[in-house]
Structure 1
Amino acid sequence: MTLWLLIVLVFCSFLLRTTWFKGWCGELLLSLSFKLFLDGKLYKLVNDVTLHCEDGTTQVDHVLISPFGVFVVETKNMKGWIFGSERQKKWTQQIYRHRSQFQNPLHQNYKHLKALESSLNLKPTDLFSIVCFVGDATFKTTMPENVTHIRGCLRFIRSKQDSKFSESEVEALVVKLEELKLKRGLRTSLKHKANVREFVAEKNRQRQSGEVCPKCGAELVERLAKRGKNAGNSFIGCSAYPRCKFTQ
């Protein structure tokens, strides 16, 4: 009996330290905050949405569908100091003297926005990107208003009051999203992780060959200058223009 108790305690200790468990706790906390502090008649919450996209699948933590737009929320359960800017490819987390880097969550959420835009046949102006840190993290650089903590996340959502959808259109979007999202389960999770690994490997290959933007990671494409002294000449630019203005 004592041996089994020890095994359970060791397993629980290991589980509590995993990235998966921390992420799950963060998503649960934010989901509860939405249900407690937002009007359920106006804001329809869909959690853990995995959708097909051009390069496989993409997984969205939270989608809030309302008359005021579709809010696409990426959750980060992190602590320590956070350094980053809107255009940086990598952000930095510092805990005491230890520093580690992670993908810019705004760039990560941009892919989610495009998948929802395509799946639900929406306009870019119909969607709002939010990155919400739910852990004990402190921003050490100035962040955009849509990168925030739970209270700021709720404030940002409530600040959008321009009507975009009728009540029936909101219900139709919820039904469509529920139909399109992949069934939750181990198979979907493993498939998505495999797609992520393949996507990262391909991006690394493109980066080494100079096929992707070094600023935001989007594809580089050939463009034609329409005005100025270089009018009529071709150049290489970022496909995410005007959000990213990188050229070479």
Structure 2
Amino acid sequence: MVWAIIIVTVILLLSSPKVKGYLGEKSVSIRLKGLNEEEYKILNDVYLPTNRGKTTQVDHLVVSLYGIFVIETKNYKGWITGTEKSEFWTQTIYKTKNKLYNPLRQNYGHVMAVKELIKGVDVPIIPIVAFSDRADLKVKIEKEHVVYIPQIKKVILKYNEKKITKEQMSDICNLIQGAELKDKNVKKAHVKEIRKDVREKNEKVSKNICPKCGGELVKRKGKYGEFVGCSNFPGCRFVGK
């Protein structure tokens, strides 16, 4: 009986989004450790300030002689569909569909925070979105790197033209670490802010107000049936449930 309770508890813990996210990030951290320490510096779970007075959480930053890699990890399973410009992607598991915010857009915010921080330093910033290999990626992407976690190292190593010196690489790491918000209260405030944004967004949607531009939300018909979209389309491409 005790073992049964323990097993059920472990299963519930492993199925929680927080734990799955942690395991995905841990898997990436382990793979990144295989990079040459003389040429690549790894920073994990970095909280940075934004120019809007908020914080943004970056799963992994790889500062190298070849560029800065900004990595967002997603430990999802099932079919993942979406496009580079769509606001939401879709996770499909059998007949169940769930929406997730476009991780390319999410990672763009991280890239901008890094770019603002190292302003004046001429170095390429390369965004990478890495999914668990439990996912079946069917996204339509032209330019961005959207890969499986086991492919991350291979993608990074494709960039082999040196852009900065070791001294500059060290300076950038010091700059990022100096700006990093390490206080636990800051991290809690970050989560609280995200929840507040989601709550405010849902409140606007419930009133048929587009949370992106303030326009009116209207019902539309698409390839996969009826959906709610912004009346200011194509200027605004917000799509609700």
* Counterpart code for 2:165: S
Unaligned runs of 5+ in 1: 215-236, 238-244
Paired residue total: 216
Helix, strand or coil for the counterpart of 1:20? helix
Residue aligning to 2:79? 81
RMSD over aligned CA atoms reads 2.9
Q: Percent identity?
A: 32
CA distance in 1, matches of 2:131, 2:137: 10
Cα deviations across residues 207-245 of structure 1 (Å, max 9, x unaligned)?
A: 86557369xxxxxxxxxxxxxxxxxxxxxx9xxxxxxx9
Match of 1:95 among 93, 96, 112: 93
Which residue is equivalent to 1:51?
48
Report the Cα offset of residue 45 of structure 1: 0.3
Distance (whole Å) between structure 2 residues aligned to residue 133 and residue 124 of structure 1: 29
| CA–CA separation in structure 1 for the residues paired with 2:122 and 2:85 | 19
The answer to whether the 8 A contact 1:76-1:135 is kept is no
Question: Matches of residues 11-22 of structure 1 in structure 2 within 5 Å?
Answer: 11-22=9-20
Name the SS for the 2:42 alignment partner.
strand
Going from structure 1 to structure 2, the CA distance change for 1:140 and 1:211 (only over 3 Å counts) comes to closer
Provide TM-score, normalisation by structure 2. 0.78
Matches within 5 A, 1:105-144: 105-121=103-119, 126-144=124-142
CA distance in 2, matches of 1:122, 1:7: 56
Query: Is 1:82–1:140's contact at 8 Å kept on the other side of the alignment?
Result: yes
Can you give the 5+ residue segments of structure 2 that lack an aligned partner in the other structure?
215-231
- Which runs of structure 1 show a deviation greater than 6 angstroms over 4 or more consecutive aligned residues? none
**C-alpha separation between the residues in 1 aligned to 2:121 and 2:201?**
27
1:70 corresponds to which residue? 68
Q: When the two structures are superposed, what TM-score results if normalisation uses the length of structure 1?
A: 0.76
> Given residue 26 of structure 2, which amino acid in structure 1 is its aligned partner?
L
1:146/1:153 contact within 8 Å kept? no
> Given the superposition, is the C-alpha separation of residues 206 and 175 from structure 1 closer, same or farther in structure 2, using an over 3 Å criterion?
farther
1:169/1:123 CA distance change after superposition, 3 Å: closer
Cα 1:205–1:127 shift into 2, 3 Å: farther
The secondary structure found in structure 2 opposite 1:113 is helix
Match of 1:222 in 2: none
Question: How far apart, CA to CA, are the structure 2 residues paired with 1:61 and 1:102?
Answer: 17
